[in-house]
Amino acid sequence: MAKSRKKKKTKNRMFTAGLSGVAACCIGLLLLHDCFRYQVNKKETIVAETKVEKPEIPQLQNGRKEQIIHHEGYTVSYNPEYKIANWVAYELTAEEAGGQLKRSGNFIPDPMVAGDETSTNEDYARSGYDRGHLAPAGDMKWSHKAMQESFYYTNICPQDKGLNTGIWNSLEMQCRTWASRYGSLLIVSGPVIEDSLRRLGSHRVGIPNTFYKVICIPSGKKPKGIGFLFENRKYTKTAIRMRAVSIDSVERVSGIDFFPSFPFEVQEEMEASSEWEY
């Protein structure tokens, strides 16, 4: 997906006034170095000297309908036409990945959805599909509220049981391992929404043919990223690495711009790689 390069003009009159050419050059080099400093804290990342509270939030580029809803553990772009999310984004820290709460919660409509525009238990009854989490309950074991909110239907999609309990679950567990190793991950998951999606139940819930997950490790000298694409089916004897793709590939399929708060040059390098180097 094409991204436009944005140039920022910086004025620093306090420091440049009266400085010699050599001193001004030194300061310029220091500013350039600081421009690409990344510091990861709880729910906060410094990107190009701009404090970004939720750097995991993507932007739709495909014109789909959305309602942005913020919950304790994740943010969702909810599509009222298909009754599923366009995307679900969150940060997973090492501390959160080590949460010890038991999985618990009831699948219920999201009370923050505008109008009666959400799926229900009846839609999934005897459908043959699992109620698949996009932000997994296993990532929310650090908070009772976050755990309960992960069962809102805005965070749920119809998933093949073999996918939900198989390779999709394996990737969720791998993400917790990476979060513990690197300190923090930025994660975006969702379905690829197409006009031709089959529908489920009386609320006509969209049944995705494909799911994606993109992951960014924002720590270290430069951030790293990788994407994954899965058909909505069971995978047999398929390693997670075999489904790895570049984030650029997921952007082209989904019509979503991931990690737009990062500088263009950083996005360009981070989102082009599909190599498994973790």
Structure confidence by residue, pLDDT tens digits, 216-262: 999 878 899 999 999 999 999 999 999 999 999 999 999 999 999 99
pLDDT of 276 strictly over 80: no
Do the domain assignments include residue 69? yes
Cα–Cα dist 217/182, whole Å: 7
Do the domain assignments include residue 84? yes
Structure confidence by residue, pLDDT tens digits, 87-99: 999 999 999 999 9
- Alpha-carbon Rg for the chain, nearest whole angstrom, is 20
Percent of the chain with pLDDT over 90: 75
Cα–Cα dist 28/86, whole Å: 42
Cα–Cα dist 48/210, whole Å: 34
Catalytic residue of the set 33, 70, 71, 133: 133
pTM of the model: 0.82
pLDDT given at position 42: 44
CATH code, domain carrying 56: 3.40.570.10
**Distance between first and last Cα of the chain:** 25
Whether 70 sits among the annotated catalytic residues: the reply is no
Q: Enumerate residues 6+ apart whose C-beta is below 8 A from 275.
A: none
Helix and strand element counts for the chain (H, E): 9, 16
Cα–Cα dist 272/278, whole Å: 16
Cα–Cα dist 248/75, whole Å: 22
Structure confidence by residue, pLDDT tens digits, 34-67: 433 334 444 555 454 445 678 999 999 999 999 9
Do the domain assignments include residue 26? no
Do the domain assignments include residue 54? yes
Alpha helices by DSSP H, listed for the chain, are: 13-16, 21-35, 94-97, 121-124, 144-149, 161-164, 167-182, 247-254, 264-270
Do the domain assignments include residue 249? yes
pLDDT given at position 117: 78
Do the domain assignments include residue 17? no
DSSP-assigned letter for residue 142:
T
Structure confidence by residue, pLDDT tens digits, 62-85: 999 999 999 999 999 999 999 999
pLDDT of 28 strictly over 50: no
User: Which range marks the domain in which residue 205 is found?
Assistant: 39-270
Do the domain assignments include residue 3? no
pLDDT of 274 strictly over 60: yes
Compare 49 and 112 and report the one with higher pLDDT: 112
Confidence of residue 14 (pLDDT cuts 50, 70, 90): very low
Least Cα distance to 202 among 108, 114, 122 occurs for 122
Compare 31 and 103 and report the one with higher pLDDT: 103
Least Cα distance to 157 among 117, 181, 129 occurs for 129
Q: Enumerate residues 6+ apart whose C-beta is below 8 A from 230.
A: 163, 167, 168, 210, 211, 212, 243
Compare 265 and 33 and report the one with higher pLDDT: 265
Number of structural domains (the chain) is 1
**For 139-160, what is the mean pLDDT?**
98
Least Cα distance to 185 among 153, 139, 228 occurs for 139
DSSP-assigned letter for residue 102:
P
Q: Residue 65 is encoded by which pair of tokens?
A: 């309908």
CA 172, 275, 242, 231 dihedral sign is positive
Q: For residue 227, give Cα distances in angstroms to 6, 27, 51, 81.
A: 25, 38, 25, 26
Answer whether 86's CB lies under 8 Å from 66's CB: yes
pLDDT given at position 52: 60
Compare 6 and 215 and report the one with higher pLDDT: 215
Query: Residue 143 CA to chain centroid, in angstroms?
Result: 19
pLDDT given at position 267: 93
Order the strands of the 39-41 sheet from edge to edge. Answer: 39-41, 44-47, 50-52
Do the domain assignments include residue 264? yes
